[in-house]
Structures are given as C-alpha cells and as structure tokens.
A and B are shown apart, each in its own frame.
Chain A
Amino acid sequence: MGNQHYVTITHYKEREFYFLNHAIQTHDGFIAKEMEQFHESEKEKFIERIRELQSQYPQSQVVSISLALNQKVFDEVDNNRASAKIFTNNYVIQDKIDIGNIPTTLYFSPFAILYEEYKNRLDDKLTLLIGLFDRKLYIMFATNDKIHESWTIGTRGLTEKQVADRVYKSMKMYYKISYKFADHIEMLVTDDSPKLLKVLREELSLSILLRQNTIHNLLHHMSGEPKRTISSYIKSSLSKIGDDSFNQTSEGVTAPQSIAIENLDDLKLNSVHSENEFVPNQKKSILGNSSITGNMLQNVLSFLPLLFVLGMGAFFSMKNDTIEKETLRMESQSRAQTNNTLLAMTTDDIFSAMGKNAELKKATISNSRVEVKGVVWGIEPLRNSLNDIYSDGEFVIKPLENFMTEFSFKSKI
C-alpha cells in the first residue's frame, strides 16, 4: 500500500557527510522519515540506499540541492548553461549540474527555494531575501515582479560579525548601483545560528524576519507538488523536457511522470565553460562572486593604512628635503652677507686711515688679514691711524729714489 505513495528522496552533502532523507507526500503535506547520514567514504553504501528506496517506492523523485557559489539570477535564460526558471523572466543559472554519479532526478537552487518560501510576502517594496544554506549566504533583492539582484557569499572561516559585515557591504554596493535600500529583510536559515541573526540585526539596523527549516524539509516541499517543481528545478540546456512533463491530476498529488530520469549525469553539459565566460552582461559583475570579491576587497583594504603611512612619510620626507635645502641656502646667504659687511667695513677703515696722508698702490683685504702698500706723505699720521685700527700691525716705510716714501702695512684681523 505504502509503495503506491509518491515519495520524495532528498539528499545533499555537507562537509564530509551525505545526508539522506525520504518523505511520503500526502494531500496535507509530507511525512518525513528519519534522516540518514553517510560518511563520504561510504558513498557506495549511500548510493545503494538511494537505489533501494527508489525500488521500494516506484513513484518517487530523488531530489538534491545545488550549493554551488557561482549561481546567479538573470533576466534571460542561458541555453548553454544549467538554468531554472524561478518566475517570469527570472532564471537562476549556473555553469553545470555536477552531482557526480549520485542518483538525482530533481535539482533545486537555494534561490528558487528562497523565492518559493517568500513569494507570497513580496510586494512592490524592495525586500532583501537571505538564505543560509551550508554556511553559504544566498542573497537576493526582490519585489513581487522581479528579482533585481542576487549573489552568494561564503561564510566558512568567518565570524558572525564578518558575515554581517559582508551582507552590509553587499547592501551598500547594491545601493551604489541602484540607489535603493531594502525596506525589510527576510531570512531563511537551515542551520541553527542565533548569534548570526543577532549580529545581522545589530549591523544592519533592520528588522529581520527569520524562518528556520532543514534542507530536507525544504526539498520535500519543493518537489511535493508538480506545479511547484516544474517551475523551479534546474534544467540543463540539453534537456528538452518540457514544462508540460508534469501532470497534475484533479485527484491530488501524483508523481511527475516524464521527468523520471535516473541520473542527472545525462543532463550534464557537454561543453565546459570557463569561469570567465560566466560574466553577467550588466553592472552585476561587481557583485558576481561576492566571497572572492569580498576577500580581495578585504586584502586591498588591509593595505590602505600601510599605503597611507608610506604616502605621508614620502610627502613629509620630500617636503623636509626641500625646506632643508632652502634653509641651508638662506644660512649661506646670511653668512655671506655678514662677511660682505665686514669686508666693506675693513675696506672703509683702510681707505679712511690713509685719507690724504697716503695713496694706495696695492692692497689685499680679507676678513682674516690686510696687506696694504702705497706712497705716504704723512708718515706719523698714517702710522697712528693704522695702529688705532690694528694695534698689532706691522708698519714699514721705505724711502724711494724720487724723494718719496713707500709704506707697507700688514696685519691679521
């Protein structure tokens, strides 16, 4: 009897563990069974268990979640990549579906789950939706008609304060490109993290409405109704499964028929696209890979104090060199001026002393010595005048043949 139920088998990997769960879907919701846990070394056992459940419940879907960081919401579908339509003109896109050889028939993006959880609460006011899945933040700004921006932030190794800081920076960056702030924040967490919530509330100064649920329950919910499932599971471009592949009967919940693909490996893209090709065509590139951008930004910001200090040091050293040169030149000028004044005074003294008593023939005058030679008419007045100025000077007279007298005077100053 039980085998005729539609069953959703959910699994995902967190750190080194695979988590497996299955639930019976009923008209009133799903009834989840006990969660099973497998270490990654028990992968074969884990796969075997999925196969066992599949054979036990023929009407089943094996559901998983894409926890890739490089997924993003775009306005247009990209036929070369794995995509899921969230709602009109909003597609979550990632490079490829990569779940290895683990049986999976439906694959959901956290963005799709976030939208599904909050779509009825959206209105024309901008709302920031944050989903915390496996220590990664999936963030999107949304109104009831559009998802305006989305990005992911890895939180591994970060404190709650650093995570909150990154959310705040992301909001600021969004504000810079759109000049809009979210009116309120809704948050869906799959981990129990009251501290993060507290810090986020403090940092963002906004009320945050929290909803907590497990990834398994969210996946059971997503794959519980064909209408919901068809609108948001990730499709590969190579998959030509139409939206009409789900049949919802008026009788209630039935299993999606034609998407009963054994393994999503079949849907993997043949072409491998590099990260560089996954560049958004809009201004979104700034926010494209927020965790990497955040780290880079943090590293760049770490250099700012050093650059600032080096800049200041270089500025003052340069200015100091310039002003030292100028000051040195002024000191030389001042010293030269003093020497010149002294020279002028000495010259004036010598010429005044000679006056009309002598006539200069030759003189050497410096600030350390004077040597004067000339013809003298009044020997005593000249000697007295020179001795008045330079008492230690050597005054010598020498008669000349033409009845004139030559004098010479030497003195240190």
Chain B
Amino acid sequence: MLKGLKELPLISKILFGISLVILFVWVIPSMVNYFKNVQKQELKVSELQKSASKYGIAGSAKPFDKEHFIQEMLKSVSKTTVEFTGDKSYDVNIEIEKDKIDNFNALLETLSLQYLVEITSPLEFEEKDKLIEVKMSIREL
C-alpha cells in the first residue's frame, strides 16, 4: 500500500493528506459526538416515557396548539382563556371550582408531558365568585 501511495502524483498525495486531516479533525469528532448524543437522547426518551406511563399518557408530547389545549382544559375546569403574548409565549387564565382544585393539580403535573411547553411565571390564585382564578404564563419549547 505504501508503495502504491509513493507512486501517486503529487496532487493526489496532497488531496489524500487533506482528506486525512479533515477525517481526524472534523469527521471522527463529529461521529463520536453524534453517537454520544444518540445515547443521551435515548436516555431522555426513556425518562420521559417512564414519567408519561406513570400518568397513563401514551405517546410523546405534542407541539402546543391553542385550540386543542383549551378544549382539553375545559374537560376539567370551568373556563380557560389563552392569549398569545409573542416569542412563543402565552398567558393562560383558568377558572376552577374551589373543590376541584385537585383537577388543576393533576393538569399541572401532566402539562409538559402532553404539550411541549414550560411554565415561566409563578401561579397566581385569586378567589372570584366562589371560583378560583389561576393565571400563569407558558412558553413553547
């Protein structure tokens, strides 16, 4: 093989050298990073699946859809409004009966397993006509 390399024209040798440098400096590190990230991702997927199965949620989280979110919330709370505030963020306003605050807690626990969102503000509770109004901000992941 070395003999074969020696017989190559100069331009071929130079190109071969450049190829080797690129291989070791760029390609192999990229490959190693890629396979490390694959393992890391598999771990995360497994963690999330474990959490989801704890709450009986099948499938992975969906991108946030305002209308779908409102419809789903209304199954557990009295009223829900969602207002887009820019930069993938929304203000969410929920009204719930006082004795059904557990429903809200259940929704809160599964929110990020069902939708690709995070809560970015403290929860603001306020009593209004025997209902509790909860305000929070969420942002799409």
Contact = CB atoms under 8 A, between A and B. Distances in A.
B112 A363 contact: no
Contact of A333 (B11, B38, B48, B132): B48
B85 interface: no
A329 interface: yes
A331 B22 contact: no
Given A323-B37, A329-B116, A340 B16 contact: no
A241 B62 CA distance: 89
Say what secondary structure dominates the interface of chain B. Answer: helix
Contact of B44 (A303, A327, A364, A374): A327
A337 B57 CA distance: 13
B101 interface: yes
Given A306-B19, A324-B37, A327-B37, A337 B123 contact: no
B47 A327 contact: no
A159 B6 CA distance: 11
B37 A320 contact: yes
A58 interface: no
A347 B101 contact: yes
Nearest to B4: A161
Contacts of A335: 118
A336 B112 contact: yes
Interface residues of A, number: 50
Contacts of B109: 340-341, 344
Interface in A294-346: 298-299, 301-303, 305-306, 308-310, 312-313, 316-317, 319-320, 323-324, 326-327, 329-337, 339-341, 343-344
Interface string B117-138: 1110111111100001000000
B118 A332 contact: yes
A312 B106 CA distance: 47
A365 B136 CA distance: 10
B41 A330 contact: yes
B15 A305 contact: yes
A363 B98 CA distance: 13
Given A306-B18, A324-B37, A364-B123, A348 B102 contact: yes
A313 B22 contact: yes
B102 A329 contact: no
B53 interface: no
B40 interface: yes
A326 B40 CA distance: 10
Contacts of B126: 361-363
B41 to A, nearest CB: 5
Contact of A340 (B12, B31, B37, B108): B108
Nearest to B22: A309
Nearest to A370: B122
Interface string A118-158: 00000000000000000000000000000000000000000
B78 interface: no
Contact of B40 (A161, A299, A327, A333): A327
Contacts of B37: 320, 323-324, 327
Contacts of B38: 323
B71 interface: no
B27 interface: yes
A332 B33 CA distance: 20
B84 interface: no
Given A305-B15, A324-B37, A333 B123 contact: no
B47 to A, nearest CB: 6
B33 A320 contact: yes
Contacts of B51: 334, 337
Given A312-B27, A324-B37, A329-B141, 15 more contacts: A161-B7, A302-B11, A312-B23, A316-B31, A317-B26, A326-B41, A336-B118, A337-B112, A337-B113, A347-B123, A360-B125, A361-B126, A361-B127, A364-B123, A366-B121
7 contacts: A305-B16, A312-B23, A332-B141, A333-B118, A343-B108, A360-B125, A362-B127
What are the nearest 10 A-B pairs in CB distance?
A: A336-B118, A366-B122, A302-B12, A316-B30, A330-B44, A363-B125, A336-B112, A344-B108, A305-B19, A337-B112
